Structure 1
Amino acid sequence: MSSDPSPILPLELEREIFEEAASHWPETIPSLLLVSHRAYEWIEKIKYRTVTPNGEHSTCSFRALMRAIQSDSKTPSFFRTHIRHLYVPRAFRRNAYVTDEMLEAVLAACAGIQSLSFARGDIPAFILPTLAALRPRRLWMRNDSLVFKTDLSRPMFTFITHVALWLMFEHDIASWLSLLAMFPTLTHMMTIGPQTTFVPHILASSRKLEVLVTWSHNSGKKLDNVDDRYVNITRIRDDVEQWVMGARGGNDFWALAEDFIAKKRCREIQPDWRYWIEDADGI
C-alpha cells in the first residue's frame, strides 16, 4: 500500500464537484452540507434553488423554505439571489402549515425567481400586489385565476416567455386573445385540458408565438387552419417532474415540442398535417 498522502484537489475543482453532485443528485444535499464548512457555504446556496411542495425532484421542499424564512437566519438578499424556481403547493390554502401570511412572506422573499407555478391552486386576491413585484420568465397557473381579472399583478407578465395554463373553464375566443395580449414577450404557450377550438385563432393572431402546445388526450383528428407551431402532447409524466425538468434546462414538454416542430419543418413528420407526437418520431 502506498504511503503517499491523499491528493489535494484545487478548491475550484473541489467546489465544482460538490456543486455538480448537489445539482444532479439533490437527495445528497443534506449529507453534503455536513462535509465541511466550505462545502456548507457552497451547497447551501444550491439547496434553495428549486422549491417543490414536498421536495420531490428538487433541492428543497416548500415547508423547508418557510422554516428558513421564519428563522430570520439569513438576509433577504440571500433568498432573492438564490431561489430561482418556486412551485407553490396545489392546496396551499388547505394546508395547516401554509398560512396566508406565510405564503405572502415566501413570495416576497422570492423576488429573483425565474419560474413560478401555482399549477391547479387558486390564487387569492390578497397576494396580487406581491406578485406584481416578481419578474419570472416561466409561469404555470389556472386560467380562472384572479390574476387574469385585475391589473394589480399585470407587471409580473412583462418578461414571461413561457406560460402553462390549467383550463378550469372554457374561454371564448375574445377572452383568449385578450389574455394573450397580457404577455408582451410570450413565445411558448401550453394549455392543459381538452379545449382546442381556440388554437387556430391564437396562431393566426400572434406571429411572435413560436410554440403552442395542448396537453390532452385529443389527437388523431385533423384540425383546420393550424400551422407547424402547434403540437399536442399526450405522453407527459407528472407536472411537478416536468416543471423541475424545465427549470434545469432538461428535455421537458417544451423541448419535445420544439424537436417535433423542427422535424416537421424538415418534412420528417408524416402526414405533414399531423400535430401530435408518435413513438416512431424518435422524440
Structure 2
Amino acid sequence: MPPAKKRTRSYDPVKTRAAVLTQFAHVREAVARLAPDALERPTRLAGWTVYDLAAHLARAVDVVARNLAEPAPAPGRPEVTLPDWPFATATATATATATAAAAPDTRPDLAALYADVAARTERLLPDAEDTRLVRTVLGTMTLADYLVTRTVELCVHTDDLNDAVPGLDIPYDRQALAACTRLLADALAVKAPGGSVEVRIPPYAVVQCVEGPKHTRGTPPNVVETDPLTWLRLAAGRRTWADERDGGRVSASGERADLSALLPVLSR
C-alpha cells in the first residue's frame, strides 16, 4: 500500500506521446533483427524468454490504442493517479506473467504484432484528449498519466532486453528515460516522505525523502547520486543497492543515505 502523502509532478503530454512512440519504434526495430534462437533466450525475469518480453512490450503499448478504439468511460475522477501506480503494479505483473506462460503454439508473430500495434497507435493517439479516461487492470487513469507509465514499461523492459541479448543495444529516447526516471524517483519520495536525504539522478530528477532533519541551505548532510539507468534498475528490483554501491554506480554520503530498505519501489 502506498503512503497517504503523495507528490505530483507535471509532464508535458506532447513530449510524453512522442517519447512513447519513439521508444516503441526503437524496440520494434531491435526485435525485428533478433534471430529465432535469440527469442528463446532466458531473461532476468523468472520464466520469461526474450520472446515473452518483446510480446509484453507490444501489448503494453497496444493497451493504449485498444482503449482509444473503445467508447471512453464516463467522465469522472480517475481511480488511479501517477503517485498510486508504482505501488499497484503487482496486479499488472501477475496478469503479464500469466500471458507470458501461454503455450508456444498460441504465440503471435512478433513482426505482425508490432506492425499492428504501431499502425493502431499512430492512427488513434494523435486526436485523443489528454484528460480522456482509459481502462487499465488497476483502474481508470487519464490518458496523459497512463502514457507516463508506458515510459516506465518501455524503458525498464528495454533494459531487460539489452541485458538478455548482448549487443542488442536498444537506444533510449531521452524524453522517455526522463519521464521514467522522474516517476520512479517521485515514487521513492512517496514511499519515504521527508527531507533528510536528497536523491540526485542527473540530468533528470532530484527528490528529497526519508524522515529526519531537513536541510534548508548549502550541501545536504545525506546525499545519494546515481545515473538514470542504474536508478531504474534499483527502482525496478533488477539490481541491489549493495551491488550498485559497491560497484561505484551509486554514491551515498551521510548516516541516513542508505536506501536499501526502501528499494525496489515498483511492486513487481
Q: TM-score range by the shorter chain?
A: under 0.3
The answer to which structure, 1 or 2, has the higher relative contact order (CA under 8 A, 6+ apart) is: 2
As a proportion of its length, which structure holds more helix? 2
TM-score by length of structure 2 reads 0.25
TM-score by length of structure 1 reads 0.25
Structure number with larger C-alpha Rg: 1
